[in-house]
Amino acid sequence: MRASIKLFLITLLMIPATLSAQDDFRGFSVNPRMGIAYLSNSNMGVHAGAELCLYRNQHIYSAEYISLHEFIILGNAEFIINKVGFYYGKYWGHNWYRYQFQAGLGPVWGRKIISEQYASYYTVGAFLKAGAKLIPFKFAAIGADIQINLNPEIPNLMLMVGVDLGKLIKHD
């Protein structure tokens, strides 16, 4: 788990150098996200996280962290899932809207109840994400995504909404 967090932080620290090395850089955004998830055992969960995206020539490079907890009113959650995803994808659209599709890999870890005791796990997940954004300003957008998290422990489907802040369209 610590190695995943270190890799994520190193990636974030290297972004300014990457941006200055790109002559055709188009944009970037920071996206806080939240939503609901449908777990493989028919339970529901709530999640929150953040994503950092780089946009260049209709390609998206992104990294995200999401923490997902089973939705329980009374008692303890049976599942807690954390994931760090590294994605590559494409986007299409004009200045006021955008469609995107991404695929990625990353570590998935957490804990789940087995025989009334928590057991920790750590595995690798494969992720697919598709979404759309409305871009009313050059620096802000409202987006919605659907994401499939395929992993051997707790596969899930997530619906996300969020706000994107950054350089989202080309400034003339």
For 103, which DSSP code?
E
Q: What is the pLDDT of residue 104?
A: 97
In the chain, the number of structural domains is: 1
CA distances from 90 to 55, 93, 145, 146, 156 (A): 9, 11, 14, 15, 23
- The range of the structural domain enclosing residue 64 comes to 2-167
Q: Give domain status of residue 55, yes or no.
A: yes
Length of the chain: 172
pLDDT of residue 164: 94
Task: Provide the CATH number for the domain around residue 105.
Answer: 2.40.160.20
The CA-atom distances, in angstroms, between 20 and each of 26, 57, 77, 81 are 12, 16, 44, 35
For residue 19, what are its two tokens? 């941006």
Residue-level pLDDT at 95: 78
Residue 146: partners with Cβ closer than 8 Å, 6 or more residues away:
129, 130, 131, 157, 158, 159, 160
- How many Å separate Cα 116 from the centre of its chain? 30
Q: Which of 93, 44, 103, 99 is nearest to 68 (CA)?
A: 44
What are residue 20's phi and psi, to 5 degrees?
-70, -20
Whether 172 maps to a domain, the answer reads no
Find the radius of gyration of the CA atoms of the chain. 17
* Residue 45 neighbours by CB under 8 Å, 6+ apart: 36, 37, 38, 39, 68, 69, 70, 71, 77, 79, 81, 156
Among candidate residues 26, 27, 45, 51, the one with its CA nearest the CA of residue 143: 51
Angle in degrees, CA 13, 15, 18, rounded to 5 = 130
Which pLDDT does position 70 carry in this prediction?
Answer: 81
In a domain, 64, yes or no: yes
Please give the chain's pLDDT, 172 residues, in tens.
565 555 555 555 555 544 444 446 578 999 999 999 998 777 788 999 999 999 888 899 999 999 998 877 666 667 889 999 999 999 998 778 999 999 999 999 998 877 778 889 999 999 999 999 999 988 999 999 999 999 998 899 999 999 999 988 776 5
